[in-house]
Amino acid sequence: MLLFLIAYLAGALTIVSPCILPVLPFVLSRAGQPFARSILPMLVGMIVTFAGVATLAAVGGSWAVHANEIGRYAAIALIAGFGVTLLSPRIAAVVTRPAVALGSRLSQQASGKGGVSTSFLLGVATGLLWAPCAGPILGLVLTGAALQGANVQTTLLLTAYAAGAATSLAMAVLAGEKVFAAMKRSLGVGERLRQGLGIAVLAGVTAIALGLDTGLLSRLSYASSAGIEQSLLDKLHGSSGVAEPGGNAMQLAANDARKGYQSDLPVLGRLQSLDGAVEWLNSKPLTAEELRGKVVLVDFWTYSCINCIRTIPYVRAWAEKYRDQGLVVIGVHSPEFAFEKRIDNVRQAIDKFQIGYPVAIDNNFKIWRSFANNYWPAHYFIDAKGQIRHTQFGEGDYEQSERVIQDLLAEAAGSKKADAATVAPDAKGAEAAPDLARLQSGESYIGYLRAANFISPEGVKADAARDYTVGEPGLNEWGLTGKWTVGGEQASLDQAGGGITYRFSARDLHLVLGPGADGKKVRFQVKVDGAAPGADHGSDIDADGNGTVSETRLYQLVRQSGEVRERTFEIHFLDPGVEAFVFTFG
DSSP state letters, 415-438: SPPPPPPPP-----GGGSPP-GGG
Beta bridge pairs of residue 558? 509, 537
More confident call, 254 vs 472:
472
- pLDDT band for position 248 (cuts 50, 70, 90): very low
Q: Cα 166 vs. chain centroid, distance in angstroms?
A: 23
- The pLDDT of 372-382, averaged and rounded, is 95
- The CATH code of the domain at 436-585 is 2.60.120.260
- The pLDDT of 34-48, averaged and rounded, is 77
What's the CA gap between 526 and 574, in Å, rounded? 11
Is the separation of the CB atoms in 26 and 122 below 8 Å?
Answer: yes
Least confident of 72-76, 345-349, 470-474, 548-552: 72-76
- The pLDDT of 316-326, averaged and rounded, is 95
Element (H, E) at 197: helix 190-209
Q: Is the pLDDT of residue 466 over 60?
A: yes
State which amino acid sits at residue 465.
A
- Report the candidate in 115, 114, 123, 113 with the shortest Cα–Cα distance to residue 44: 123
More confident call, 572 vs 22:
572
More confident call, 216 vs 304:
304
- The pLDDT of 58-76, averaged and rounded, is 46
Does residue 22 have a cis peptide bond before it, meaning omega lies within 30 degrees of 0? no
- The pLDDT of 304-332, averaged and rounded, is 96
Pairing of strands 359-361, 553-559: unpaired
Q: Is the pLDDT of residue 188 over 50?
A: no
Quote the strand ranges of 537-585, DSSP E: 546-549, 553-559, 567-573, 579-585
Q: Is the pLDDT of residue 271 over 70?
A: yes
- Report the candidate in 2, 130, 1, 148 with the shortest Cα–Cα distance to residue 54: 130
* Parts of the chain belonging to CATH 3.40.30.10: 250-431
- pLDDT band for position 73 (cuts 50, 70, 90): low
What's the CA gap between 437 and 507, in Å, rounded? 10
- pLDDT band for position 167 (cuts 50, 70, 90): confident
More confident call, 11 vs 16:
11
Least confident of 186-190, 200-204, 216-220: 216-220
CATH fold label, 250-431: Glutaredoxin (3.40.30)
pLDDT at 513: 97
pLDDT at 436: 92
- The pLDDT of 197-202, averaged and rounded, is 62
- Report the candidate in 311, 460, 452 with the shortest Cα–Cα distance to residue 393: 311
pLDDT digits (tens, 9 = 90+) for 439-462: 999 999 999 999 999 999 999 999
Element (H, E) at 65: helix 62-87
- The pLDDT of 373-379, averaged and rounded, is 94
Least confident of 226-240, 329-343, 374-388, 402-416: 226-240
- pLDDT band for position 113 (cuts 50, 70, 90): very low
Whole-number percent of the chain with pLDDT over 90: 51
pLDDT at 434: 93
Tell me which range, 37-41, 196-200, 226-230, 521-525, is most confidently predicted by mean pLDDT.
521-525
pLDDT at 80: 64
- Report the candidate in 386, 374, 345 with the shortest Cα–Cα distance to residue 241: 374
Is the separation of the CB atoms in 581 and 489 below 8 Å?
Answer: yes
pLDDT at 160: 80
What's the CA gap between 173 and 39, in Å, rounded? 8
Q: Is the dihedral of CA 446, 452, 458, 464 positive or negative?
A: positive
Q: Is the pLDDT of residue 366 over 60?
A: yes
Q: Report CA Rg, the chain.
A: 28
- pLDDT band for position 130 (cuts 50, 70, 90): low
Q: Cα 207 vs. chain centroid, distance in angstroms?
A: 26
pLDDT digits (tens, 9 = 90+) for 227-238: 444 444 444 444
Q: Is the pLDDT of residue 393 over 80?
A: yes
- Report the candidate in 207, 158, 132, 206 with the shortest Cα–Cα distance to residue 486: 132
- The pLDDT of 339-352, averaged and rounded, is 95
pLDDT at 55: 59
Instruction: Tell me the pLDDT of the chain averaged across its residues.
Output: 77
Sorted by sequence, the CB contacts under 8 Å of residue 298 that are 6+ apart come out as 271, 330, 332, 371, 379, 380, 382
What's the CA gap between 351 and 493, in Å, rounded? 29
- pLDDT band for position 100 (cuts 50, 70, 90): very low
Least confident of 98-112, 370-384, 419-433: 98-112
Burial of 421 (0-12, 13-18, 19+ CB in 10 A): exposed
Sorted by sequence, the CB contacts under 8 Å of residue 130 that are 6+ apart come out as 20, 23, 46, 50, 165
More confident call, 157 vs 273:
273
The four Cα atoms 153, 333, 374, 435 give a dihedral, to 10 degrees, of: -150
pLDDT at 17: 55
